[in-house]
Structure 1
Amino acid sequence: MESSAKAGKRHTGQTLLHARRTSRGVWAQLKKNRFLYLLLTPALLLTLIFKYGPMYGAIIAFKDFSPIRGIWNSEWVGFKHFEKFLTSPNFETIFMNTLKLSAYGLICGFPIPILLALMLNQIRRRGIKKNIQLFLYAPNFVSVIVIAGMLFIFLSPTGPINQVVSWITGSPMMFMTDPEYFRWVYILSDIWATAGWASIIYVAALANVDPELHNAASLDGASLLRRIWHIDLPTIKPIMAIVFILAAGGIMSIGFEKAYLLQTSMNLPASEIIATYVYKIGLQSGDYAYSAAVGLFNSLINVVLLIGVNMIVKKLNDNQGLY
């Protein structure tokens, strides 16, 4: 018994000593890099004020909020608004529309910037490469409102695309009113607008690949596809993992503006997503507490997806993934 007590005291002493050394090491690091941390302070304050500060307003999701009584004086109702949303007849349609639009967009849109970067990396003439990059990056700077207007013009029954379709099939296709076409119109236009700009990070990473590796592989008889597979792709693999985790973590946070601008009364069964629903309930109908509960539910789904995807990527990378 005495030996066990002594062993316990010795272990406690070692733990305290280790904690003190760790604390001293942390303070030494802070003192050594104090000017770097000082430069970080403005960004940290902005994040705390504008990102974490407004989070206290999420409490209205658990209250029967009244602007007159304020947040703290409103009646506490617990999970009433969450239950209302989960049991509403529109829940399944809205949730699945959001999930499908985001998932299809991720599956179809994620490989495109990688392919563009790999193709751009094969262009050796700088002048041609810059012109192609300018052409690919330009759509990113077009306003979402302008893109929506262009889609309505080009895809209208009398638009140029439907003129070609009518010449081939004999009748126009209702791209903007048929729910079956809405998702593909949204996803393909989104890829057109963002894929070029999203490829920049991959192009920058591929620029660091040593040309001697490709020359050596070519001398060994490796084809272009084999060189891309064994040299280029392993180089951008960590960036691909980061981009995929971030994209999957925000899979339920699909943009509100474009979906709302492309909505019509006829494509509503496919275009009504959580973001547009929150806007209509919260700002148009004035039910702030219910809309806050729906938005908070959406954020919780994103957090779960982010953690899940991060764990999957870790396992795929042989437990050497991102933390």
Structure 2
Amino acid sequence: MSGTSERHVAEPEKFVFDELIDTLKVRIVNGAINVVGTDDGPARVEITELEGPPLKVRLEDGTLSVGYDDMEWKAFSKWWDRKGWARRAEISLAVPQHTRVEVGVVGANSVVSGISGATTVQGVNGDATLVGLSGSVKAHTVGGNVEAQSLSGDLRFSTVSGNLTVVDGSSEVKADSVSGNMVLDLDPSGGGEVRLTTVSGEIALRIPEPGDAEVDVNTTSGNVFCAFEELRVSGNWGAKRITGIIGSGTARLKATTVSGSLALLRRPPLEDPAGPAGPAGPAEAAGPAEPSGSGGPSDTSGDTPSLRKDV
């Protein structure tokens, strides 16, 4: 259905949307965003806390937008005027699982779960948690951390100083940072490619036996640790490199850091009585430390999409 429905919200409220939603765009400063994908029921928005200027809630041709008039998505990462930071919002949103989600934050934390559509997270500061996403994921931060669990879609990540943590990953991962650390627990047996690049950040990769990956990881001046005897570790002073094939070599695993340490760790099989606990002793000493975690409406009328308040 064509048409537009729009409200400016100045206090906590709940809304229900009768129309089908295929795209969600949320942009806030400070506070928190929680987006969850649902397989039934209408889309819902609940604004539980709101300080500062009103939020605009807009529905147009299947696109639901929640944010501020002075925050443009295309220039979002350049939104540095701290005079505009005197605001806060906490928002929970439930949308269909297939929805394409775009989240932008300045100093706010975000959680996105259960989405099968493409997801984009962009932030100046503020941590992001991504759980159970089956669509492609793009995350770009300046200083915010990203934690991802059970992703089956491809992940693209870039940051200046934020950390990346991936748990139970089976997707293709491409990530780069300046000083952020990367800790990934992956199962590359399904193929695909993992490419990690950082200047001074540390990298730790843990994969299950037998591994099934072609490995080429290196550091210019950092320490290395390798738990796979079948791989070759070369270089004693300065640059060091780990290369070779483990298992069937169906996936490609490449990682590069200039001055950070690099660890390639082995995850015991699930049936192992020791369980999936991380390695101790030399691995713990040589591997990089795991990064620290996070840190009255106007009415509309006429033949436009309905935006009704849920009391």
Which category of TM-score, normalised to the shorter sequence, fits these structures?
Answer: under 0.3
Q: Which has the higher strand share?
A: 2
Larger C-alpha radius of gyration, 1 or 2? Answer: 1
Per the normalisation by structure 1, the TM-score is 0.21
Per the normalisation by structure 2, the TM-score is 0.22
Q: Which has the higher helix share?
A: 1
